[in-house]
Amino acid sequence: MAISGASTLFDKLWSDHAVCDLENGETLLYVDRVFLHERTGAVALQSLRSAGYDVRDARRVFCTMDHIVDTFPGRGDKTLMPSGADFIRATRSETRTANIRLFDVDDADQGIVHVISPEQGLVLPGLTLVCPDSHTCTQGAIGALAWGIGSSEAEHALATGTLRVRKPKNMRVIVDGALRPGVTAKDLILHLIARFGANGAAGYAVEFSGSAIRQLEVEARFTLCNMAVEFSAFTALIAPDEKVEAYLDGRDFAPKGEHWRDAVEYWRTLRSDDNAAFERELVVDAGEIEPVVTWGTSPEQAVGISARIPGPDEHLEPHRREAAAKALQYQGLQAGQTMVDIAVNAAFIGSCTNSRLSDLRAAAAIVNGRRIAPGVRGVVVPGSRRVKRAAEQEGLDRIFTEAGFEWRDSGCSMCFYAGGETFGEFQRVISTTNRNFEGRQGPNTRTHLASPETVAATAIAGSFTSAEMLANSESLIA
Ligand SMILES: CC(C)[C@H](C(=O)O)[C@@H](O)C(=O)O
Ligand code: SF4
């Protein structure tokens, strides 16, 4: 607890949900919502049932099909993952038995778990939400205390509506100033991870604050908090503000009428007190960030797009030097290479990091009227069926397909290789996703993380290019 009774936002959410402190230093926390998906959820439900337990309150549990299902148009129940059909079947039967609301493959509201939970107001500021999926931290963007858990913890949460958790420390990341035009929340989080290390936030709940954060739209805040787990944080948080209220107003599961007014009144208390103490504080000037692309196999192996891949001597610690050498070998690159000279084979726009309507709009604005570079494969996967419909109403699907992109149904798709679909061996993919480790998008596939704007511009140019660089090069040619 902080000095003189002052609390951080995280402390407030924690104490509002603390049932009791346990002897071993853990706290029993009340869990408001559990979200499941077909990759890990059915396993948890099956195991709970075979241990003889029931789901305590199925009204607070939700499940979606996102990880394994195909995203090819007209997919039905198809999946390319070996044994994937078993997961799909088990998810259906377990959720039916437990009476849990399932967003099934053909549901109009289906989508990636972290995209649909706020989209429908299933997660709200001040609630605790857990999911057996590491990117649950995404929801801290609206001031929910949300974190990823393991399968046995999921069983505990389902059976009891509580979880035992060891309290992490408080960290604040203050981002002041303004992001430059064309620089996004994705570039900001990649910059933070590159600068402070992929384990920079280990042991902490991170609150993002500062003028640059307040300026971010809610969907961009999701992108930022989504990758807190790549920064090794327990979770991330942003104090809810009027943008969050406007975002949630009218959502299906959001409170209505008098309940809405009460909720908003509570949400307005969800901010760190002025003199609250943080065990660690980082300060960043938003204006110094340029579009970022990863070159290696960790999100910290990233540089500004106009830079070169660092040379071996630029890594100060020996373990970073070794990791860099190994990453370069896997990625088929050399230290010192200029990023803009590196050609790609594919461009992927999707995932819980960057597949919301604002992401698709930003990418479409760049590809509009242009064609993907010859030989480059482009794939766009909306994060939810709602996002897909909204994008189609605006004609974004046509902009993408006319430029040469595939336009898919919603799901995790090639964000993650589940034994099924992949871009293929040694293919270099620029991707709006959040993980770039070896094999993430398939055996020997080479992943480079970037913003939707940079992925779109790179697809058009054929090699790493920011939107600004693309516009400048075209005006030189014209
Ligand atoms: C399959 C699932 C458990 C996993 C996660 O926890 O994050 C996946 O979503 C991922 O992004 O790697
Ligand atoms: S989109 Fe990718 S990162 Fe997000 S939940 Fe699915 S597999 Fe995990």
Write the pLDDT tens digit of every residue in 108-124. Answer: 999 999 999 999 999 99
Ligand 2 center to residue 337 CA distance, Å?
A: 30
Ligand 2 center to residue 444 CA distance, Å?
A: 19
Mean pLDDT of the chain: 97
- Cα(468)–Cα(474) distance, integer angstroms: 10
Summarised one tens digit per residue, pLDDT across range 398-418 is: 999 999 999 999 999 999 999
> Which range has the worst mean pLDDT, 139-148, 157-166, 311-320, 424-433?
311-320
Confidence of residue 73 (pLDDT cuts 50, 70, 90): very high
| CA 415 to ligand 1: nearest atom | 11
Give the mean pLDDT of 323-350: 98
Q: Which amino acid is at 255?
A: P
Which residue has the least CA distance to atom 6 on ligand 2?
A: 412
Percent of the chain with pLDDT over 70: 99
Ligand 1 pocket residue status of 196, Cβ below 6 Å:
no
Summarised one tens digit per residue, pLDDT across range 126-162 is: 999 999 999 999 999 999 999 999 999 999 999 999 9
Ligand 1 pocket residue status of 133, Cβ below 6 Å:
yes
Amino acid 466: pLDDT:
98
Q: Which of 400, 355, 402 is nearest to 382 (CA)?
A: 355
- 8 Å CB contact between 444 and 283: no
- Cα(8)–Cα(15) distance, integer angstroms: 11
Q: Give the mutation target among 37, 116, 351 for probing the ligand 2 site: most ligand atoms within 8 A of CB.
A: 351
The CATH architecture of the domain made up of 294-477 is 2-Layer Sandwich (3.30)
Encoding tokens for residue 410? 């919603």
| Strand bridging mode 204-209 / 235-237 | parallel
- Over the chain, what HEC string results? CCHHHCCCHHHHHHHHHEEEECCCCEEEEECCEEEEECCCHHHHHHHHHHCCCCCCCHHHEEEECCCCCCCCCCCCCCCCCCCHHHHHHHHHHHHHHHCCEEECCCCCCCECHHHHHHHCCCCCCCCEEEECCHHHHHHHHHCCEEEECCHHHHHHHHHHCEEEEECCEEEEEEEECCCCCCCCHHHHHHHHHHHHCCCCCCCEEEEEECHHHHHCCHHHHHHHHHHHHHHCCCEEECCCCHHHHHHHCCCCCCCCHHHHHHHHHHHCCCCCCCCCCCCEEEEEEHHHCCCEEECCCCCCCEEECCCECCCHHHCCCHHHHHHHHHHHHHHCCCCCCEHHHCECCEEEECCCCCCCHHHHHHHHHHHCCCCCCCCCEEEECCCEHHHHHHHHHCCHHHHHHHHCEEECCCCCHHHCCCCCCCCCCCCEEEECCCCCCCCCCCCCCEEEECCHHHHHHHHHHCECCCHHHHHHHHHHHC
- 8 Å CB contact between 42 and 51: no
Identify the burial level of 297 via C-beta atoms within 10 angstroms of its C-beta, where 0-12 means exposed, 13-18 middle and 19 or more buried. buried
Amino acid 183: pLDDT:
98
Q: Give the mutation target among 66, 133, 152, 417 for probing the ligand 1 site: most ligand atoms within 8 A of CB.
A: 133
pLDDT at 70 over 60: yes
Q: Which-ligand-closest: CA of 113?
A: 2
pTM of the complete model: 0.98
Encoding tokens for residue 64? 């979606």
Distances in whole angstroms, Cα of residue 439 to Cα of each of 307, 435, 442, 445: 25, 10, 5, 6
Give the mean pLDDT of 285-299: 98
Residues contacting 203, CB < 8 A, separation 6+: 168, 169, 234
Give the mean pLDDT of 377-401: 98
- 8 Å CB contact between 54 and 94: no
pLDDT at 3 over 70: no
Alpha carbon 191 to chain centroid distance?
16
| CA 135 to ligand 1: nearest atom | 7
Amino acid 185: pLDDT:
98
Ligand 1 center to residue 319 CA distance, Å?
A: 26
Give the mean pLDDT of 367-374: 98
Ligand 2 pocket residue status of 434, Cβ below 6 Å:
yes
- 8 Å CB contact between 168 and 204: yes
Summarised one tens digit per residue, pLDDT across range 27-39 is: 999 999 999 999 9
Amino acid 2: pLDDT:
43
Amino acid 5: pLDDT:
84
Q: Which-ligand-closest: CA of 39?
A: 1
pLDDT at 478 over 70: no
CA atoms within 13 A on the CB side of 186: 30
| Strand bridging mode 446-449 / 204-209 | unpaired
Confidence of residue 1 (pLDDT cuts 50, 70, 90): very low
Summarised one tens digit per residue, pLDDT across range 205-261 is: 999 999 999 999 999 999 999 999 999 999 999 999 999 999 999 999 999 999 999
Buried b (16+ CB within 10 A) or exposed e, 328-363: bebbebebeeebbebebbbbbbbbbbbbbbbbbbbb
Give the mean pLDDT of 324-348: 98
Ligand 2 pocket residue status of 115, Cβ below 6 Å:
no
pLDDT at 4 over 80: no
Ligand 1 pocket residue status of 377, Cβ below 6 Å:
no
| CA 133 to ligand 1: nearest atom | 6
Confidence of residue 348 (pLDDT cuts 50, 70, 90): very high
Ligand 2 center to residue 201 CA distance, Å?
A: 21
Ligand 1 center to residue 134 CA distance, Å?
A: 6
> Between 3 and 476, where is the model more confident?
476
The ipTM estimated for the assembled molecules is 0.99
Percent of the chain with pLDDT over 90: 96
Ligand 1 center to residue 415 CA distance, Å?
A: 10
